[in-house]
A and B are shown apart, each in its own frame.
Chain A
């Protein structure tokens, strides 16, 4: 009988496609919106993700996210280095500077000044050039998204994409010359500004108007020591804030969630997708069942048990749900994959997100099946004699 249930489903092609499309559209909204939200949220701590070597981040107590930086005195670096349990500690400058492009346009960019000796904090993946080239005069490394996007050389012809920055090109940062020595991959920041890497001492030169430049101290606990305990010790002894990388990520994320309407906005869209999906799918599926009600009544008269009929309806709903969800998640994955070619926002559709959205779609089809099944189960078999 289950095969017959499927034949009934596939037999009514119009409604079948309606159900599938309804579920697919809901799936797209339910998967894509959280995917965008999660990707954007992950950008709030992209700096911490990209700089993986240190396990402790030290900063001013008032810093709330990795996008936020408040300068420390350089002497704080030496204090941190002197704390028991610290294997090493290096400075990191993070600031927002103005870059003048060849055509005279000005762009804001984030500059990261890395420890001159170790270059800790530098990009993990180089597309062109090498990290060590930062030791060359006026050297900066530009992130790929920035090089292809906002910092690209404009051709002057409307609608034509700019020519990406390449190794050897020059920029002007705060009226000082900078030479591009490398192009690197970096996770975009929350504000999607271009990222420029240089050495800490050269960053001082580019940001000469700033009196204090030390944004973060990156530290590592000695082998065998708990980074969390070492971070607590640093905080206690220096009166600075010190967090492990995971703690700092959570802190950045919590701040964004509590101080922006992102969660509410995206959550609302997901909820609308869920409700509309339930309503549309439920309505079409219910109509499909109503159209077949007389046949369900005939089956019932012929001896089909309620359990058998319920199984048939559930099978129809679950299969339609599976196909709709498959199409929806496929389209979303294809869309996400297309974003990987660009350099701005790279959407990720992870397994947890797929599982959660699959559960939501399951709820939609179960709700649709519930109303349909209720109608069938309440049907009096004697109705079959009413023509």
Chain B
């Protein structure tokens, strides 16, 4: 499971996935090959229904592909038992969701501590580490605040802190800015990228939002279940998006 600093975090080869059977079958992935390097921010873009979310789900180990292989940190997920896969996910992957998915009755601090608690970290230690992460996303003064008292951008920053709390090597984000206005989305991406790149994490972001493309190191354009092309970072400076 050890990977060197230069070996890819994610290696997908020939991934296929079909939903349903017979006439209603939908081929969501039709042979996807993809690598993601450490410290790289890859964006998956494409029209709705092109298979972005399916691909990110397979990469995150929460959906089984029909064929092909997906290796994370040198570990082929298909070779793991369901329980081992759950534990693997808990240790190595962070999630950022479109709808934030923060538990409303928990404070920001407690929300951030959740992945640590899942990984067996004692509560006090988890809260201590969560406080540090909350501070890193610029919300150090909102420890005891519940998500309902925060703006959308602040909630997403808390969600980013939660995704990074257990120090995962891979962060997957599903439309992290679609619920935010442009300026807020840019600030969220600033936070996300600075924290991820700093610690050499790989990031895979599914997005429709072309305004955040400049934050990408690489953009994979998907359509109809395949990656049409992979382009490098657009020329526009990310800062100009804000």
Contact = CB atoms under 8 A, between A and B. Distances in A.
A136 B83 CA distance: 86
B89 A302 contact: yes
B175 interface: yes
Sorting the interface of chain B by its residue count into under 10, 10 to 19, 20 to 34 or 35 or more gives 20 to 34
A305 B101 contact: no
A380 B62 CA distance: 8
Q: Is the interface of A mostly helix, strand, loop or mixed?
A: helix
A387 B175 contact: yes
Nearest to B111: A4
Contact of B89 (A1, A303, A306, A380): A303
A387 B57 CA distance: 14
A4 B53 CA distance: 29
Interface string B97-113: 11101011110001000
Given A1-B118, A4-B103, A387-B98, A302 B63 contact: no
B213 interface: no
B174 interface: yes
Contacts of B57: 382, 385
Interface in A101-151: none
A306 B118 CA distance: 12
Contacts of A7: 105-106, 110
Interface in A141-177: none
Interface string B78-101: 000001001111110101011101
Given A12-B105, A305-B83, A385 B117 contact: no
Contacts of A382: 57, 62-63
Contact of A385 (B87, B90, B97, B118): B97
Nearest to A2: B117
B105 A8 contact: yes
B143 interface: no
Contact of A301 (B89, B99, B123): B89
A64 B60 CA distance: 76
Given A10-B105, A301-B89, A385-B57, A1 B98 contact: no
Given A1-B117, A302-B118, A303-B91, A385 B105 contact: no
A12 B62 CA distance: 28
Contacts of B139: none
Contact of B62 (A8, A306, A308, A381): A381
A302 B90 contact: yes
A303 B119 contact: yes
Contacts of B97: 298, 384-385, 387
Contacts of B89: 301-303
Contact of B87 (A3, A305, A381): A305
A61 B39 CA distance: 97
A303 B103 contact: no
Nearest to B101: A298
B101 A303 contact: no
A304 B93 CA distance: 12
A246 B99 CA distance: 70
Contacts of B56: 385
A304 B86 contact: yes
Contacts of A380: 62-63
A360 to B, nearest CB: 30
12 contacts: A1-B117, A299-B114, A302-B89, A303-B88, A308-B118, A381-B62, A381-B63, A382-B57, A384-B95, A385-B56, A385-B97, A385-B174
Closest 5 CB pairs of A and B: A303-B90, A11-B105, A381-B62, A382-B63, A382-B57
